[in-house]
Structure 1
């Protein structure tokens, strides 16, 4: 579904150039449910905007569902944003029109396509659990219910890719959990590819793959040891005690680029005494690569 190679994005302001992405490589399979995490300024939202056609890369390769995002015309880009990709934002003001009902909000993008909007809108609101609330106006809905309406809108025109930018950022933990469960259900039932940018640690328990971005590159990936459905089944059968909060559910891997470079987590470097230097001693000891601080001058 998504193929990024050597992706670069440079923003220019006056005489200043800011590298938001610095040669990022990423591959996402069709039908995958994954999360992208990273600190503010790491480049994760920039990547999401380019996947959605809201921004263009400066250099590199970016294809989404077979489309070359660097060479698409403005007309094709508009069609792509309208038909192939759905967006869910943290700020409901970007998703919803406040004076319309839930039903009318979902009908609007379908109307732009000239399709039978009422039947599709009802189907989507049922899918996100709002069958009994479809005629309510937004001020009559909770924050979580409004976000469910936003997800229904994003799915209105049968997109193949759903992009969510901090979709649980303004919700409490209980409602965040429900929204993440909904993403899993939609991914499983509809086969839609879902990419979520988030700071929410709950995602690590619900998503099979988590990609971390640091300084405009993929620094690591966390892969689930067992499928989430298997863990739920074991929990329901009483095979797991408690909520499993302390259990390690994922294995983390550092990512090597084509030149063999990797980003070592800052906490690891600090733990072995690497500070105030950009040098590290690398040795091969009995088949294991060992990093140590540079030797002090005698």
Structure 2
């Protein structure tokens, strides 16, 4: 579904240049549910904007659903945003119109498509658990319910890719769990590819793969040792859970470079230096602090 290779994004303001992405690589399979995590300024929101057709890379290779976004005309971008991708923002004001009902908000993206709007809107609101709130305006809905309406809007035109930017950032932990469960249901029942961007590492408990971005590059991946469905089945059967449900992998670029988490370097005494000793011992690559 998503193929990013050596993606670079440079923002220019007057004489100032800010490099947001520095040769990022990312591959997402069709029908996958995954999360992208990283600190503020790591480049995760920049990546999401490019996947959504809201921004363009400065260099590199970006293909989504077989479409090369670097070769898109403005007309192609409009069609892509209308037909291929759905977007859920953290700020509900970017998704919702306050003086419309939940149903009217969901119908709005379908106006230009000429499709049967009312039935589709009702089906989507039912799918996100709001079949009983279709005639309510936003002021009558909780923050979590508004976010569910936003998800229904993102699905209105049957996208193949759903992007969510901090979708649980403005709700409490209980509602965040419900929203993440909803993404999993949509992924499983509709075959949607779902990419969630967040700064919350707890999301790893709900998805099968987590990609960590650091300094504009893919630095590591966390992959489940067993599926979420298998873990739920074991919980129901009373099987004790392992504290480490995911295995962390460092990501190598084509030149063999990798980013090592700072905590690991501090653990071996490499702090405040840009050099380490690299040796091979018993078939393993070993990093050591520089000799004093």
What band does the TM-score fall into relative to the shorter chain? Answer: over 0.9
Q: Matches of 2:122 and 2:20 in 1, distance apart?
A: 40
Query: CA offset at residue 276 of structure 1?
Result: 2.0
Matches within 5 A, 1:138-177: 138-177=138-177
Query: CA offset at residue 275 of structure 1?
Result: 1.6
SS at match of 2:3: strand
SS at match of 1:248: coil
TM norm structure 1: 0.96
Q: Matches of 1:295 and 1:121 in 2, distance apart?
A: 66
Counterpart of 1:50? 50
Q: Matches of 1:175 and 1:250 in 2, distance apart?
A: 24
Query: CA offset at residue 233 of structure 1?
Result: 1.1
Query: CA offset at residue 38 of structure 1?
Result: 0.4
Query: CA offset at residue 289 of structure 1?
Result: 1.1
Counterpart of 1:252? 248
SS at match of 1:22: strand
Counterpart of 1:285? 281
Counterpart of 2:122? 122
SS at match of 1:258: coil
Alpha-carbon contact 1:164-1:196 (below 8 Å) kept: yes
- Is 2:263 aligned against 1:267? yes
Counterpart of 2:198? 198
Counterpart of 1:71? 71
Counterpart of 1:60? 60
Q: Matches of 2:188 and 2:54 in 1, distance apart?
A: 27
SS at match of 1:70: helix
Counterpart of 1:218? 218
Query: CA offset at residue 288 of structure 1?
Result: 1.2
Alpha-carbon contact 2:37-2:201 (below 8 Å) kept: no
Q: Which ranges of structure 2 fall in alignment gaps of 5 or more residues?
A: none
TM norm structure 2: 0.98
Q: Matches of 2:238 and 2:113 in 1, distance apart?
A: 48
Q: Matches of 2:272 and 2:178 in 1, distance apart?
A: 44
Q: Matches of 2:236 and 2:143 in 1, distance apart?
A: 29
Alpha-carbon contact 1:8-1:20 (below 8 Å) kept: yes
Counterpart of 1:81? 81
Alpha-carbon contact 1:168-1:200 (below 8 Å) kept: no
Query: CA offset at residue 202 of structure 1?
Result: 3.0
Alpha-carbon contact 2:37-2:197 (below 8 Å) kept: yes
Q: CA RMSD in A?
A: 0.9
